[in-house]
Amino acid sequence: RGAGGWACGVLRGSGEMSLVSVEPPSKRMRHEGYSAGDGEEDHEEGKGIIPSPIMLLSGHAAPVYSVSFDPSGRFIASGSHDKEVFLWSVSTCENVGVLRGHKNAVLKVAWNSAGTRVATASADKTVGLWDSETGKRLKKFDDHAKVCNCVDVAKGEMHLVSGGDDGRALIWDPRSRRPTGSFDAGFAVTCVAFSFDENLVFSGGIDNEVKAWDRRQGMVSFAMQGHKDTVTGISVSPDGTKLLSNGMDRVLREWDIRPFSAGDRLLKEYVGVQHNPEKNLLWCSWSWDGEMVSSGSADQVVHIWDVATAEELYHLPGHAGSVNEVAFHPSESVIASAGSDSNIFLGEL
């Protein structure tokens, strides 16, 4: 990949990353049996889906802002300040492709449900849609007037939604050059997500609230208020009934997003996430079974919480910079984390 190139490394008791379990007794049986430094005793190399319990993926020349598993769990996409998107093989941890074309930082990456396309949001004000096999950029959407912060891909039809500092959330259909829908939030939009039925688009921004937009009516269906600072990331639960939001007020919140839910939609709060003056957009995520949640955190630690109790299960140091996103494997107990130290960690829980 040029000077320095990319690399993947096995970490065994190096002190560079340690898995420190802080789980409650109810979860110990589920997660016991691994800690950094004794991987050779607890993990027979080559038997897991990754080469070793902890892998370091390096090659990006600048902070990595986003990381995402494809739906099959075989590949990872990572977006960086170096303007590039790397594609990685999970089984070998090798770099298998580079998507080039953005003229500024890539802030968010997302896969389509077939795993054949990668969508990207960039500070160059554009949204990209790429063929993950050929590396070719298929579409360049450039209707945002300012930085494009985020992108999500619908589970069903091939629709995208993006959000930007111009205060808009835009809907894209790859068959059209212009947006097929537009929602004016009035303030910079920092995160977006589709509901499972695609009837709603959720957006978060610097006005500290999460809005649910009705796509048919083009207006806000309901809003979730409680954050006291910018909402930097949102994620819909695997069953489509709940939404997770990360805020610069250092609280991760879980909301009920069922259409006819009565009363306060706030279900619970998770504490421990940190933000700092860098004000990075720190994303959040659910495990594939909906039993755990995680979030980026500026304290250089991967935090993972138990959904049932809201207690922290894992406290995983290792990055030398802000952890900007944590992604769960779609079917296995494996996570990937993207850091401002330009590295990606891939590890077993």
The tens digit of pLDDT for each residue in 84-101 reads 999 999 999 999 999 999
Residues, the chain: 349
Q: CA-CA distance, 340 to 325, in Å (whole number)?
A: 10
Backbone angles phi, psi at 39, to 5 degrees: -60, -30
The Cα–Cα gap between 54 and 198 comes to: 36
How many other C-beta atoms are found inside a 10 Å radius of the C-beta of residue 204?
Answer: 31
Task: Give the containing element (helix H, strand E) for 7.
Answer: strand 7-10
CA angle, corner 22, sides to 16 and 26, nearest 5?
Answer: 140
- 3-state DSSP call for residue 56? strand
Comparing 186 with 158, the larger pLDDT belongs to 186
CA distance 209 to 228: 8
Q: Dump pLDDT digits (tens) for 18-39.
A: 333 333 333 332 332 223 333 3
Classify burial at 346, counting beta carbons within 10 Å of its beta carbon; exposed 0-12, middle 13-18, buried 19 or more: buried
Nearest to 259, CA basis, from 299, 202, 221: 221
For residue 313, pLDDT over 80 is answered with yes
Residue 321 tokens, joined = 């910079």
For the ranges 31-45, 154-168, 278-292, 302-316, the lowest mean pLDDT is seen at 31-45
Bridge partners of residue 68, in order along the sequence: 77
| pLDDT value of position 276 | 84
pLDDT digits (tens, 9 = 90+) for 248-290: 999 999 999 998 887 889 999 999 999 988 888 999 999 999 9
Q: Is the pTM of this model over 0.85?
A: yes
Q: Could you give the 3-state DSSP secondary structure of residue 27?
A: helix
Per-residue model confidence as pLDDT tens digits over 203-255: 999 999 999 999 999 999 999 999 999 999 999 999 999 999 999 999 999 99
Burial 152-168 (b: 16+ CB within 10 A, else e): bbbbeebbbbbbbbbbb
The Cα 343–Cα 7 span in angstroms is: 10
Q: How far apart are CA 304 and CA 349, in angstroms?
A: 10
Average pLDDT, the chain: 88
Q: DSSP per residue over 149-213, as a string?
A: EEEEE-SSSS-EEEEETTSEEEEE-TT-SS-SEEEE-SS-EEEEEE-TTSSEEEEEETTSEEEEE
Which residue's entry shows tokens 């065994």? 12
pLDDT at 15: 32
The pLDDT of residue 259 is 85
Q: What's the count of helices (H) and strands (E) in the chain, helices before strands? A: 2, 30
pLDDT of 6 > 60? The answer is: no
